[in-house]
Structure 1
Amino acid sequence: MSDAVQPTAAEVRAAAEAVKTALDRHLAAVERRSGEDDQAVYEAFNELAAAAEAYDELLYDRYDEVTPFEIPGGEEELPPYAGPEEPNALSVLIRRDYAVAEPQRLLAQAQRIEAADSDAEASGTVHGALGLLFGEYEPDEIASRHKEFGLEEGDSTLWVTAADEPADPGEWLEEPFEGVDAQQVVCRFDVSAVFDEEIDDELDELDTDLDEDGDLERRA
């Protein structure tokens, strides 16, 4: 246990109450979500993560105990922002990973594109079908319709970086993600199956009931 000034029991309990409040807000945001990229859900997730981290630290400092919860790192991993106070330009860096879950569905979609466009050539291969698909549709549309194309979503991340001036035309096209300065990142949003898997594991481990007052009560 740390030799530093310990938090009081009241401070630990207040932090626990903050986690409960943040958990309720996160659930409410999820229930009201308008789509996969709902900003309110991201904000509620970050608030819950911050509340849980604060509680975990106070609990350890006071009682030398930890929680079973671990929030995957996201924005907290970035260094402090050191970019321009009034950016004149910005770059949006996006990476989305997919697995080709149903190759035949992908090939069938490519054939439909070929049938509607005589100039389109998919060559009957998966890599040819992917080239045709991403040449026909915007990335956001593919993200929203990925199941139709036989794709399965993996992790994704979006970074917004700031700059004093826009880059020269054609300057970064050969290496679009090289030389990104983390201190120029204004905000970052991550989506990962790790989040869902860890939450599911925690729910499996916690066998709880609600008592008559609506509080969580651990089963014996």
Structure 2
Amino acid sequence: MSDAAQPTAAEVRAAAEAVKTALDRHLAAVERRSGEDDPAVYEAFNELAAAAEVYDELLYDRYDEVTPFEIPGAEEALPPYAGPEEPHALSVLIRRDYAVVEPQRLLAQAERVEAAEEGEAVGTGEDAASTVHGALGILFGEFEPDEIASRHKEFGLEEGDSTLWVTATDEPADPGEWLEAPFDEIDPEHVVCRFDVSAVFDEEQDETEDDEDGEDGEDGDEDADASDRGRGR
């Protein structure tokens, strides 16, 4: 950036004052919060994030310095809930990722399902699953997704990231309305809550434990269970 385009010292100072004001407003909103999803807190949070981002940019442009803290941008957080106060319907959106780590175990489980359905001994049915994608179709057709999630190791699968969103609406969707594109047109302002599970959270925890081990020489606790790694709204 050229010298002519650089912000003035007064502009940087004004941005710093804006951060202080936004910080005071955020604290006041937190102190007055009426519940876990108080929209005033989210609004104050977004204002603080925006003010901090402006200050950080101006500080860098003027003095080639950065702030020692990081406030997530407003776009990284869910907006304040603006859905119906008394929802008459809800949608639960779930995505779970898996890695196929033991294909032979997956194929064997699918073969058992086919054999049981056809009344044949395992390994004798002509239609027994012989491909991974065919085995997946058989198993997910036989078992509920929650059962596969709880028994994934039996099926040769390894858990990856997962997310669960609960959205509220005034009325249920018409039958068949969203089946072709179930995750399209989700209004973020109608999200009641969201829970994420990711190996990234384990890595963050491991880094913290490694730092603690370096200080006291003691081993950290074992990795938390997936339910403990969930990040809510």
CA distance in 1, matches of 2:128, 2:68: 58
Given candidates 180, 185, 193, the residue that maps to 1:179 is: 185
Given candidates 188, 198, 203, the residue that maps to 2:194 is: 188
Higher mean C-alpha displacement, 114-123 vs 136-145: 114-123
In structure 2, the CA distance between the partners of 1:77 and 1:3, relative to structure 1 (3 Å rule), is closer
Residue number in structure 1 paired with 2:143: 137
Residue number in structure 2 paired with 1:204: 210
TM-score (normalizing by structure 2): 0.58
Deviations 1:37-91 (A, max 9, x none): xxxxxxxxxxxxxxxxxxxx9xxxxxx7559xx99x9xx7211111000001000
- 1:203 to partner: Cα distance: 2.2
Residue number in structure 1 paired with 2:79: 79
Pairwise CA RMSD: 3.4
Q: Report the number of matched residues.
A: 156
Runs of 4+ aligned residues of structure 1 deviating over 4 Å after TM superposition are 64-67, 119-122
Contact 2:166 2:194 in 1 (8 A): yes
CA distance in 1, matches of 2:188, 2:18: 34
Given candidates 140, 160, 163, the residue that maps to 1:154 is: 160
Contact 1:122 1:128 in 2 (8 A): no
Given candidates 161, 164, 167, the residue that maps to 2:173 is: 167
One-letter code aligned to 1:193:
A
- 1:202 to partner: Cα distance: 2.7
**Structure 2 stretches lacking a partner, 5+ long:** 1-12, 21-51, 53-66, 120-124, 218-233
CA distance in 2, matches of 1:6, 1:162: 34
Contact 2:115 2:128 in 1 (8 A): no
One-letter code aligned to 1:199:
Q
SS for the counterpart of 2:216 is: strand
Larger radius of gyration: 2
CA distance in 2, matches of 1:66, 1:6: 13
Deviations 1:6-26 (A, max 9, x none): 99xxxxxxxxxxxxxxxxxxx
- Is 1:115 the counterpart of 2:121? The answer is no
In structure 2, the CA distance between the partners of 1:191 and 1:6, relative to structure 1 (3 Å rule), is closer
Residue number in structure 2 paired with 1:218: none
TM-score (normalizing by structure 1): 0.61
SS for the counterpart of 2:118 is: coil
Residue number in structure 2 paired with 1:90: 90
Residue number in structure 2 paired with 1:216: none
**Structure 1 stretches lacking a partner, 5+ long:** 8-56, 58-63, 211-220
Q: Show the 5 A alignment for 1:39-50.
A: none
Residue number in structure 2 paired with 1:124: 130
One-letter code aligned to 2:215:
T
Residue number in structure 1 paired with 2:36: none
CA distance in 2, matches of 1:191, 1:140: 15
Identity %: 70
CA distance in 1, matches of 2:68, 2:190: 37
CA distance in 2, matches of 1:137, 1:155: 20
